[in-house]
Every structure is written in structure tokens, then in C-alpha cells.
Amino acid sequence: MSASTPEPLAASRQARQATRIAFFIAGFAMASWAPLVPLVKTRAGLDDGALGLLLLGLGCGSIVAMPLAGYLTTRLGCKRVILGSGLLICLMLPLLACLANVPALAAAVLLFGAGMGSLDCAMNIQALMVERAGGKPRMSGFHGLFSFGGILGAVGMTGLLSLGLSPLLAVLCVIALTLLVMYRAAAHLLPYGNEREGPLFAIPHGVVLFLGILCFIVFLAEGAMLDWSAVFLVSWRSIDPTYAGLGYAAFAVTMTLGRLLGDRVVARLGGVRVVWLGGLCAAGGLALALLVPVWPAALVGFALLGGGCSNLVPVFYSAVSRQTLMPQSTAIPAMTSLGYAGILVGPAAIGGVAHLSNLPVALGMLIVALLFVAFCSRLLHTGETA
């Protein structure tokens, strides 16, 4: 492969569309799993603790698979890794819908997580090459398709189950749509990876470690909204439990809209200013939710948190693509793994702090962390020049 060969393909409209489809598939598949979780708990006879350990396998599978996926994109190309990951996800979903044996379920969850982590890594590597070839910001839009896929997957799977379809039939519908869009994208996924090959595993350091820590904080905030927003609304704002999901819905909708509009915002303001304003918006939104003692204010605050966080991670990915300290095939998995660690460790840590004090205090610690992200924005120039 010559240095001049890949750029026209990566810069093409078809490559951009294929990248959007890859992000959509990742969000769609992940969200399709969420409505199956309570069914898995009942079918396998799990208590809350056992279910928590089972779900931990999803994140562990993702983190373990990411370095391998980054290595394989360099050796085999993004196309093979994205398609292989998508097929692994499609193979695991029917097992997750049917299995009752706990060891078999654990293995399926681990492999499902490995597929999700590999897809996440490979699609972000492709996205960065497409963005670089096009010479303009595109990462926010790509991540917006992930969020849109997540909303559609959760609503679609819930709708299919509410119509009376068995979990297996509902999953087969999801797989059919996933395979259809994968087929549409396959011809225009990049058949190569980064030219600079790195080791299979590398500990993040320098600017990659710095960006990974910022990702950890943002993913921590996302995980907190997923796991604790409903609890906060019911326990501290006395909202009817029937409507407790509105908190995360407000967060998810503004995050999706922010990402879909984010490329224009980043192009106009620049990544540094987007991180500065986004961090302040997110911290201010969470402060509003915690300090004003009525539930409508909490919904507005969660919406501001989602909008503020929406373009932070895409900007961090663009920044890591500009550094030269580590090859992208190792830098991207390393940074993403740190982010996933925020989702894994964060909600449990918030629960521990809440046990020692209370939930508002635990969530309030996130305000300080998000302000730290905002004040670190000027250091993102390091990511542009390292």
C-alpha cells in the first residue's frame, strides 16, 4: 500500500457513510441488549449481586479485546475487524436471549463484550482516518450516529417485546437489520489500518494518558446518569417511579442532538473552546440538578449535562489522532479502555460514596471532575502538537 493510495478512499462520501453505519451498528446492538437484562436475570434465577458480576463481564470482555482489535486493524485492516466484530455480536445476541445456564451466559456476555469493544476500537480508528483525509471535523457526527443507534435499539427492542414477540424472535429482527446495514457498508469500509504498527499492548503515557483520564471522567458522568439518575429523581426529588426514566432520556436526547450538530460547532469554535464550554455546561447542569430541589430543574440539569458532554469525547479522539507519541493502533485502544474503566468503576464508586454520605454528595463530586475537564481544555494543544 503506497502512502498516496488510501487517502482518496478515506476521503470519499461512501467511506464516510460506511463509518456512520459502523457507529450506528455499535449503538444499536449495545442498546438492544439492555431490555434483555431483566429477562436474563429472571431466566437464570440471578440475584442482584450475581447479575452485577455477569454484567461486569461485558466491560471486561471489551477492555481485553480492544488492544487486540487495534493491533489487528493494522495487520488486517479496519474492514475485516469491523465486519468480524459485527458478526461476533450477531452470533452472541441469540445466546443472550435464550441461555439460562450461568457459566454459558457468562461466556456469551464476555464474547459479546469482546465484539463490542473490538467494534468500538476499529470504527474509531477508521473514523479518525476518514476525518483526517477529509480535512474537517467529523467525529461528533460519527458518535452522534452511535447515540442515535442506541435510542433506536432500546426503543425498537422494547417495542418488539411489548408486541408479544419472544426474546429470540426480537433478537432475530435486530440481527436481520444489523446484517442488512453491515452488508450495505461493507464495500466501503477501509481495507487497511494505520501504516505505523505498534505493539499488541502498551500502557498509555504522555498525552494519551492525559486524554484517557479526561475520557474516564466523561464516561464516568455518562455511567452515573445511566445508573443513578432514576434513583436520584425517585429518592431525592420524589418523582413517581413510572417517570424516573425521564432523567436519563433528557440526558440521552441532548447528547444525541449535540453530537449530530457537533461537527459544525467544533469547526466554528475549535476543539479547545468546545471542551472548555462543554465542561462548564455539564458541570453547571449537574449543579442545577443537585441544588434546585424540584424535579423539573433536575431534568433541565440532566439535559444540560448531556449537551455539555456530547462533544467532549469526539474532540479527545481527534486530539489523540494528532499525537505521534504512540501509534494510533495502541493509543486509541488505550484511551478507550480508560474511558470504559470509568463506566465500569464509576457507578460502583458513586454507590460507595453515597453509602458513606448521600447520593447528592456522591454526584456532586462529578461537578469538580467536570470542571477539571473544562480547565484542562487549553492543554489540548498538547494533543495537537505532540
Encode pLDDT of 80-108 as tens digits: 999 999 999 999 999 999 999 999 999 99
Q: How confident is the model at residue 382 (pLDDT cuts 50, 70, 90)?
A: very low
What is the reported pLDDT for 63?
A: 87
What is the C-alpha radius of gyration for the chain, rounded to an integer number of angstroms? 20
For residues 342-367, give the mean pLDDT: 86
The CA–CA distances, whole Å, from 157 to 77, 172, 204 equal 32, 11, 37
Tell me if the domain spanning 207-385 has CATH number 3.40.50.300: no
Nearest Cα residue to 215 out of 370, 25, 56, 379:
370
Half-sphere exposure of 304 (CA within 13 A, CB side): 21
Report CA 341 to chain centroid distance, whole Å: 12
pLDDT at position 201 over 70: no
Euclidean distance between CA atoms 73 and 210, whole angstroms: 24
Q: Is the pLDDT of residue 38 over 90?
A: no
Q: Check pLDDT > 60 for residue 297.
A: yes
HEC string of 291-331? HCCCHHHHHHHHHHHHHHHCCHHHHHHHHHHHCCCCCHHHH
Q: Give the pLDDT band of residue 195 (cuts 50, 70, 90).
A: low
Calpha distance 344→334 (Å, rounded): 15
pLDDT of residue 200: 58
Arithmetic mean of pLDDT, 144-148: 92
Task: Categorize the per-residue pLDDT at 197 as very low, low, confident or very high, splitting at 50, 70 and 90.
Answer: low
In terms of average pLDDT, the best of 19-33, 239-253, 269-283 is 269-283
Q: Fold identical between 6-186 and 207-385?
A: yes
| For residue 116, pLDDT beyond 60 | yes
Q: What is the pLDDT of residue 223?
A: 83
Top mean-pLDDT range of 308-312, 318-322, 352-356, 377-381: 308-312
Q: Of 230-239, 343-352, 372-381, which gets the smallest average pLDDT? A: 343-352
Domain segments of the chain: what residues?
6-186, 207-385
pLDDT of the residue at 196: 58
Q: What are phi and psi of 260, to 5 degrees?
A: -65, -30
Q: Which residue has the cell 474532540?
A: 315
| pLDDT, mean over the chain | 88
> Taking CA 235 as the corner, what is the angle to CA 233 and CA 239, rounded to the nearest 5 degrees?
45
Q: Residue 277's closest CA among 324, 228, 315, 225?
A: 315
- Residue 245 is given by DSSP the state T
Distance CA 290, CA 284 (A): 10
pLDDT at 324 (0 to 100): 82
Please, which pLDDT band fits residue 386 given cuts at 50, 70 and 90?
Answer: very low
Question: In whole angstroms, what separates CA 234 from the centre of its chain?
Answer: 26
Residue 68 predicted with pLDDT over 80: yes
Q: Residue 237 pLDDT > 60, yes or no? A: yes
6-13: average pLDDT: 76
Q: Report which residue type is found at 73.
A: T
Stretch 65-73: mean pLDDT, rounded? 90
The CATH code of the domain at 6-186 is 1.20.1250.20
